[in-house]
Structure 1
Amino acid sequence: MKLQPDKSTVQTITGHGPGWIGVDGEKITSSVIVSSGGTRIAWPVGSFDALEPGHFAALAQVDAEIVIFGSGARIRFPRPAWLAPLIERRIGVETMDTPAACRTYNILAQEGRNVAVALLVEQPV
């Protein structure tokens, strides 16, 4: 699905589909962390089943007030204990499927919120 945001000064999710995410028009085929502050970091996780506590500890190091976790094609929740590093830093966490996470990130980033999105990009089989 292609998303058409208004002109923006923040990184914008410009599209998504099975096995890819578009960030400012660039097609990305692996999991990624994107922030409204300009950060774009490869997130080394290939599937929901491969998630570990360290993946969420890395999210706690991103400068954001809220982190949106895009869990893939369907909504799946991480283990609550894995979110402890985010909670300890008083960073809000929301979980949704990746398409919803893309849309929500764009809205919050356009509003000027300090938001990051961690998008799980799983390759189609």
Structure 2
Amino acid sequence: MDLSLDRPDGFLFVRRVTPTTVTVVDRPLSRSFVLAPDRVVESWPVTSALELDESHVAGMLELKPELVLLGTGERQQFPQASFLAGFLRRGVGIEVMDNAAAARTYGLLAAEGRRVIAAFILPGK
């Protein structure tokens, strides 16, 4: 599914989402990654939402988000409560959704200039 035909100014955007890849601008990524409006953190070592716990929170908070979108693959899958609580205790919102929904939501919020990051879980190889 194509999510954007035009290149928005000022932020990295998701162009396409498939079950095994997410294309950022014109680069398909097939391993889990974290996307901020100004950078991509590649090779995020996560292949399932169930792997996430509070130890994963600090690295994501280094990007200074006001909101975290967690794309959990083709289907929504909730991580451990300790992972979610790690953001909420620090006043950072977090939403869990499938990758396509995370990409759409990220695009809207980044276009508004919000400090949002999206973490995409992909099956990898």
**What is the TM-score of this pair, normalised by structure 2?**
0.87
Q: CA deviation at 1:5?
A: 4.8
**What is the TM-score of this pair, normalised by structure 1?**
0.87
CA distance in 2: counterparts of 1:90 and 1:5, whole angstroms: 34
Contact kept, 8 Å, 1:69 with 1:119, in 2: the verdict is: yes
What letter corresponds to residue 74 of structure 2 in structure 1?
Answer: A
Q: Over residues 70-97 of structure 1, what are the superposed CA-to-partner deviations in whole Å (9 max), with x where a residue is unaligned?
A: 0111111112211233223211101111
Q: Which residue of 2 aligns with 1:100?
A: 101
Pair 1:49–1:86, CA change in 2 (3 A): closer
Say whether 1:47 aligns with 2:52.
no
Q: CA deviation at 1:123?
A: 4.3
Gaps spanning 5+ residues in structure 1: where? none
Q: Which residue of 1 aligns with 2:111?
A: 110
CA distance in 1: counterparts of 2:63 and 2:49, whole angstroms: 20
Gaps spanning 5+ residues in structure 2: where? none
Sequence identity, in percent? 32
Q: Which residue of 1 aligns with 2:19?
A: 18
CA distance in 2: counterparts of 1:5 and 1:113, whole angstroms: 21
- Structure 2 counterpart SS, 1:7: coil
Deviates more, 1:68-77 or 1:42-51: 42-51
RMSD between aligned residues:
1.8
